[in-house]
Structure 1
């Protein structure tokens, strides 16, 4: 697939080619250099983590980097934290036994971290095949394993992306004051946010340790998330309609406004804490255009 075909397939603007050449082709070159050095040192795949809030362009960047690297003869594989959500039924159990808000996918505690770690482990094997988990947002459930993409091993580079990838727990005292309407009205005692924070501490940090190189698509503020997430949902709706698939589980603007409040606390905290730790930070404006790039080797 050439770059023009990629741009058309992902419904990107016509100026995305120049955008890619300016910002992301150099990024792909840097990653190539890093993974070449990694192979010489250990022979293991290079693992790249991409963080960005909802709708920031993580999935597009991931697909683009895989495309650019494969054009150079390098084998890559990618998956998202979204792909390892707990199943719908598993989250219903959490909602019934721990807190009702845990029935909604998204926050730490609603992912199968064991599956994520097992997927990374399988992708580091030197021969054979493995499959990548997938989640179907149109049904709010994990896709059947028979539909998971098959990957031939070995791979040179693995990209893991997610909205809370690289996020760290907050001090317990910071959790006492609600940050939005969802917390003040639906988590009055703070049980949900304390549970999420504890899950982040207990299970997610061990996944972050596998990442060799951190990239952040940094939103100007959390205020952008609603519009970006709404655009993301509408794009998914159009895709499903073209494929003749149901869209009844997708969200309207009112539902999205409530939905993103689940993510607000961790997103705001990550916007403050991750930039100092990331190897590369691409600062975005409200239209998701890069305004500044910071590189820390």
Structure 2
């Protein structure tokens, strides 16, 4: 049988032409590498659930960032593990806090673009992202006190910027956090500092390894009263719209892989850069499968990042940043 095919997509899949017609690409400049700075240690401490990552002491912050920069990744996101905690998380905004000390060193001695996570869960004894009442441990309807939390997020964001942070990323899903932080930054003369909002952050099972890494797991209860329900997509548009109206410069979706539909929705409906957070559980799963020989680590990781870009992400926060940068 003589079959005449006028359209043969395989023609464009051969070596030489394949890369020329590729629709999506990921480069090292698209990636942000998380860094964990630990005020409780003087040596690097491996994070068992996140192979290849460590908590590093403040004294090693610059060295750690330089290692990342050597791969071609230009931006880092700094997370802190404080030496002391209290109910309000007061070390989050202390001028000599772990993030503040690390950021001063990093910005003075490297060319990295420094983003800081603005939250309280790593700094509070209860591990929640804000102010809770003293009897919350026995209250099954625990909610973080929204407006009281805003005051502390403002202090934290301003302290990060005064230490040298070039972008702040509030992650607590507190109603009004972008308005409050934008107003505070403007009033203190930091009008040029952008805000990357964790605009659609879901109450996800994929965060487990991060909570070990940052020592930020809730001591009781969970975060479903202030993080989004994984079942909801329309709600994401409402959350994101509120942050855009409040002045958010970059919109983050977290997690990434299980929420690519949300990444696409945000990218399609809002004229702001979109960040996808390739979270710790996603990272750990690929490593675990690769360790068993079930998948190829680098190929699977690269494919995952391409999927995030294809869905509409402009930048990706990922624990794979260093490992994949040269290959990309």
TM-score normalised by L of structure 2: 0.34
More helix by share: 1
**Structure label with greater radius of gyration:** 2
Structure number with greater CO (CA < 8 Å, separation at least 6) is 1
TM-score normalised by L of structure 1: 0.36
